Amino acid sequence: MTVPPLAPYPASRLRRLRQANWTRRLVRETEVRPSDLIWSMVVHEGEGAVPVASMPGVDRLSVKEAAKAAVRARDLGIPAIAIFPHIDPSRKDATGSIAADPDGVIPRAVKAMKDAAPEVGIMCDVALDPFTDHGHDGVVEGGKILNDATIERLIEQGLMQAAAGADILAPSDMMDGRIGALRGALEGHGHHDTLIMSYAAKYASAFYGPYRDAIGSAKLSAGQGDKKTYQMDPSNTEEAIREVALDIAEGADMVMVKPGLPYLDILRRLVDEFRMPTYAFQVSGEYAMIKAAGANGWIDEERAILESLVAFKRAGAAGIITYFAPWAAEKLG
Ligand code: PBG
């Protein structure tokens, strides 16, 4: 018997575990399932489905269509839907006065969706921007976004959403102290079980562009103004930790990092630091980039979507808020 040479050969051959699909499946560390997805959806006051130009494949849905979508989510195993309103520009004003209207499109959509598919959680954005003509998330005075005056409005809006049957309130405004104020108001009105997912680490990002098109925030989408006095500086990490610590102390049940893919380092840090259910929002610009490159044949769109979703899970996300949810759930289900 000839003794094989002891060297040279690699001490360990990691490629052995990659040689076949079955070995790859056996050692796979992370998987995305439909239950990891929150479907991000835009609803509008009119009838039917209206395509959003900068987000191919995404439509603004009527209340009726939204109810059908809730049934579809249930059938696909998607646990929750996050809804955002498109409001007719003629009904917007400087203070967003119809944000807490109990007959508005959001409460009507919540009721219709909960009637159609009560098993699906409905999450509402608590913020004024879809309702203000300037597109800011708060009350503006002398060019400043007023913190405490905005919180008062958000409380009215959040209580109205909870009364309509929303399961999760998601304040996305980045005012200081809003989580504690909202939690207190919910408790005071008997909404003990209404969850709060705080947009805790939300950055002033260029990746929200198509969303502002989707909800019709014309001025901000035209580049007039920015949200840098309330949303975070993309350069900061330590500050994200302070933001999240405060929101947890104030009563948040779940926290979010937004945008998603460019901020995976923040997500990982927050999960390691707090061990909270932490969600990533794959925002409109991330969606649009993948769709645009896919449409041009520059990337394999389907693989890119699935790769981006697994990246969130790998980085520690408890779930992903994404416009790809129905497509991905179908693919993964
Ligand atoms: C604002 C809000 C934004 C998004 C969700 N809530 C945009 C902003 O802060 O300007 C972005 C969602 C997306 O880009 O998909 N309250």
Residue 258 known to be catalytic: yes
Going from the Cα of 19 to the center of ligand 1, the distance in angstroms, rounded, reads 43
Residue 10 pLDDT: 81
Going from the Cα of 207 to the center of ligand 1, the distance in angstroms, rounded, reads 9
The pair of structure tokens assigned to 329 is: 């759930």
Going from the Cα of 14 to the center of ligand 1, the distance in angstroms, rounded, reads 42
Considering only CA atoms, which residue is closest to atom 7 of ligand 1? 208
Per-residue pLDDT averaged across 20-46, rounded? 98
Question: How far, in Å, are 91, 142, 225, 244, 247 from residue 201 at the CA level?
Answer: 30, 27, 21, 7, 10
Residue 111 known to be catalytic: no
Per-residue pLDDT averaged across 131-155, rounded? 95
DSSP state of 261: G
Measured between alpha carbons, how far is 150 from 133 in angstroms, rounded to an integer?
Answer: 15
Going from the Cα of 283 to the center of ligand 1, the distance in angstroms, rounded, reads 8
Produce one character per residue of 276-315: b if its CB has 16 or more CB atoms within 10 Å, e if not.
bbbbbbbbbbbbbbbbeebeeeebebeebbbebbbbbbeb
Considering only CA atoms, which residue is closest to atom 2 of ligand 1? 172
Q: Provide the mean pLDDT of the chain.
A: 96
Of 92, 258, 291, 313, which is the active-site residue? 258
Measured between alpha carbons, how far is 174 from 134 in angstroms, rounded to an integer?
Answer: 17
Give the confidence band of 229 by pLDDT, cuts at 50, 70, 90: very high
What residues contact residue 248 under an 8 Å CB cut-off, 6+ apart? 255, 274, 276
Residue 223 pLDDT: 66
Please state which of the ranges 101-105, 137-141, 298-302 shows the lowest mean pLDDT. Answer: 137-141
Domains of the chain: 32-332 (3.20.20.70)
Residue 270 pLDDT: 98
Probe residue for ligand 1, chosen from 129, 153, 256, 257 as the CB with the greatest number of ligand atoms within 8 Å: 129
Measured between alpha carbons, how far is 160 from 107 in angstroms, rounded to an integer?
Answer: 8
Per-residue pLDDT averaged across 298-327, rounded? 98
The pair of structure tokens assigned to 199 is: 């947009």
Probe residue for ligand 1, chosen from 137, 169, 231, 282 as the CB with the greatest number of ligand atoms within 8 Å: 137
| Cis peptide, bond prior to residue 130, ω within 30 of zero | no
Cβ–Cβ < 8 Å for 183, 192: no
Residue 175 CB: number of other CB atoms within 10 A? 22
Measured between alpha carbons, how far is 220 from 190 in angstroms, rounded to an integer?
Answer: 37
Residue 222 pLDDT: 66
Q: What is the pLDDT of residues 237-277, one digit of tens each?
A: 999 999 999 999 999 999 999 999 999 999 999 999 999 99
Of 114, 202, 227, 291, which is the active-site residue? 202
Residue 8 pLDDT: 77
Give the confidence band of 2 by pLDDT, cuts at 50, 70, 90: confident
Question: How far, in Å, are 27, 108, 154 from residue 64 at the CA level?
Answer: 44, 10, 26
Checking 244-249 for CB contacts under 8 A at 24+ apart, the result is 244/198, 244/200, 244/201, 244/270, 244/273, 244/274, 244/276, 245/274, 246/176, 246/179, 247/179, 247/198, 247/200, 248/274, 248/276, 249/180
Q: What is the dihedral of CA 52, 58, 59, 65, to 10 degrees?
A: -170
Its sign, for the CA torsion 121, 170, 307, 50, is positive
Residue 76 pLDDT: 98
Strands 37-44 and 168-171: unpaired
Going from the Cα of 111 to the center of ligand 1, the distance in angstroms, rounded, reads 23
Residues with CB under 6 A from ligand 1: 125, 127, 129, 137, 172, 208, 211, 227, 283-284
Per-residue pLDDT averaged across 288-312, rounded? 98
The pair of structure tokens assigned to 105 is: 């499109």
Its sign, for the CA torsion 55, 39, 253, 118, is positive
Residue 221 pLDDT: 60
